[in-house]
Amino acid sequence: MYLSPRHAEIIQMAKDHGRVLVEDLASHFNVTPQTIRKDLNDLCDQRLLSRIHGGALFPSGIENMEYEARRKIAADEKEAIGRAAARLIPDNASLFINIGTTTEAVSKALLDHNGLMVITNNINVANRMRIYPSIEVVIAGGVVRGSDGGVVGEAAVDFIRQFKVDYAVIGASAIDHDGALLDFDFREVKVAQAIIANARHVILVSDQTKFERTAPVRIGHLSQVNTFITDRCDIPSVRKICQEAEVQLIETSVG
């Protein structure tokens, strides 16, 4: 298939950063936003990109993108989600924080809390929080995944099952329109399932790009969480699930 030089560069930018935005591309190529929208529509029609509000994503399949690239996707939105989640968690609480860039944003927003006990299988979270004397950090044992510092495997599952905590902060690589929470690594999914089963209040944190992605392994269902925090949810079926299952839906970019 033939790609124009601009289309090829757009795809490479999306691959490098996870997503591209209309306004950024228009400035980069010195063309109008309308031209870029047409470019993105053409590339999405060829299934080379996936459309999102204001831009496009590099499509996912059976493998997740690099952790540093994921950190850059919707970074501002993740920070807002992190702050919203931190407001729900009081001082002196016990909580799980699992693998993910959005859960890592929550850990950053929790640094001014006191008396927390944080149990995590996320080395990035543990490293960020360990220097704060008001926070006790407990890290799960298991296999350390080199790609993102996640601790996975049966040893991590068994470790998590020792606890019953006040809150769990979890993420997902993709959220299907039927409410399925999805991920890429079955070993990570087993740990996430143990986290959900051993928390009194489960907080799912995920930006809206996860509605546009797919992943092959099922973590669970949206109805299993107590609170879902996202920047924006424009999916009617997901909103309906939240309403029917009495899941508190918090949208940080709305209102």
The pLDDT tens digits for 90-138 are 999 999 999 999 999 999 999 999 999 999 999 999 999 999 999 999 9
Average pLDDT over every residue of 159-168:
98
**Distance (Å, whole) CA 45 – CA 23:** 20
**Domain 5-59 belongs in CATH node 1.10.10.10:** yes
The pLDDT value recorded for residue 62 is 42
For residues 186 and 157, the answer to whether their CB atoms sit within 8 Å is: no
Residue count (the chain): 255
37 CB contacts (<8 Å, ≥6 apart)?
22
- In the structure, what pLDDT confidence band is assigned to residue 1 with cuts at 50, 70 and 90? low
pTM of the predicted model over 0.75? yes
- Tell me the sheet residues that pair with 94: 117
The pLDDT value recorded for residue 51 is 83
Question: In terms of pLDDT, which residue wins out, 93 or 19?
Answer: 93
Q: Which CATH class is domain 68-251?
A: alpha beta
Closest CA to 214 of 37, 15, 58, 101: 58
Sequence ranges of the domains in the chain: 5-59, 68-251
Quote the tokens at residue 250. 């918090």
Closest CA to 145 of 163, 121, 109: 121
Quote the tokens at residue 37. 């929208």
The pLDDT tens digits for 173-224 are 999 999 999 998 899 999 999 999 999 999 999 998 888 788 899 999 999 9
